[in-house]
């Protein structure tokens, strides 16, 4: 598994610099970047999870990042980024994912994490096919024979409305605060390591 470079130093004047795509990406460099200065209205809540099988989605490649997340199944938040400083201590739980920004017909923006593995995985491979098909048209998906199958809406729909925000701002809204594991005293880290 490819590991991001360690030692990214967040900009002390920008608490969201941790969520700069250059910091979260696989192969992240050690150079901090300046924070965004634009003021935009962000979605109130950004979920990080697979969309509902009842939803139709579109994906914008501007909202894509390959990164590492920890899936904590006992937690409501479910997916957590882990900073470079704690990835070695939690290495068995860290997974490389393609993080796709998608929007539904109802205007719900979310990040869909799709696992990256050297071993063939029909669920992940077919999820990626769904996302890539949704770049140009509205699609849904269903489970069939051990993989996702694309389905199409019965009606025609126009182009989606995308958040007027940068990828960094959307990542910060999804993960800031207790959603990020930055030390091994974090409650999720302690749970994964077997502490109460």
Please give the radius of gyration of the chain, using alpha carbons only, rounded to the nearest integer. Answer: 17
Structural domain count, the chain = 1
138 pLDDT more than 70: yes
5 in a structural domain:
no
The residue segments making up the domain with residue 70 are 15-33+46-192
Q: What is the pLDDT of residue 22?
A: 78
Instruction: Classify each residue of 133-153 as buried b or exposed e, where b means 16 or more C-beta atoms within 10 Å of its C-beta.
Output: bbeeebbbbeeeeebbeeeee
Between 169 and 179, residue with greater pLDDT: 169
DSSP assignment of 19-45 equals: G-HHHHSTT--S---PPP-------S-
Q: What is the pLDDT of residue 24?
A: 79
pLDDT band for position 85 (50/70/90)? confident
Q: What is the pLDDT of residue 36?
A: 31
102: helix, strand or coil: strand
Distances (CA, A) of 167 to 13, 34, 86, 159: 19, 14, 24, 19
187 pLDDT more than 60: yes
pLDDT band for position 33 (50/70/90)? very low
166 in a structural domain:
yes
Q: Cα(121)–Cα(151) distance, rounded to whole angstroms?
A: 20
90 pLDDT more than 90: yes
Q: Cα(92)–Cα(153) distance, rounded to whole angstroms?
A: 40
177 pLDDT more than 60: yes
179 in a structural domain:
yes
3 pLDDT more than 60: no
pLDDT band for position 31 (50/70/90)? very low
Q: What is the pLDDT of residue 19?
A: 80
pLDDT band for position 16 (50/70/90)? confident
118 pLDDT more than 50: yes
8 in a structural domain:
no
139 pLDDT more than 90: yes
9 in a structural domain:
no
41 in a structural domain:
no
Between 155 and 40, residue with greater pLDDT: 155
Q: What is the pLDDT of residue 42?
A: 62
* Mean pLDDT calculated for residue range 145-167: 94
Among candidates 1, 170, 26, 13, which has minimal Cα distance to 84? Answer: 26
57: helix, strand or coil: strand
DSSP secondary-structure letter at 179? G
């Amino acid at each position: 598994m490819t590991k991001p470079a360690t030692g990214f130093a967040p900009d002390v004047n920008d608490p969201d610099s941790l969520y700069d795509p250059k910091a979260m990406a696989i192969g992240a460099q050690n150079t901090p970047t300046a924070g965004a200065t634009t003021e935009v209205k962000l979605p109130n809540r950004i979920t990080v999870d697979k969309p509902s099988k009842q939803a139709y989605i579109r994906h914008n490649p501007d909202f894509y990042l390959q990164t590492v997340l920890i899936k904590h199944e006992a937690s409501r938040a479910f997916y957590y980024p882990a900073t470079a400083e704690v990835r070695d201590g939690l290495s068995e739980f860290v997974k490389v994912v393609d993080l796709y920004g998608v929007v539904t017909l109802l205007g719900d923006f979310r990040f869909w994490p799709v696992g990256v593995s050297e071993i063939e995985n029909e669920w992940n491979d077919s999820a990626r096919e769904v996302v890539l098909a949704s770049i140009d048209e509205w699609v849904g998906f269903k489970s069939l024979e051990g993989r996702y199958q694309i389905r199409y809406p019965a009606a025609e729909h126009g182009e989606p409305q995308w958040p007027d925000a940068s990828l960094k701002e959307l990542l910060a809204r999804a993960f800031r605060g207790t959603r990020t594991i930055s030390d091994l005293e974090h409650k999720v880290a302690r749970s994964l390591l077997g502490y109460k």
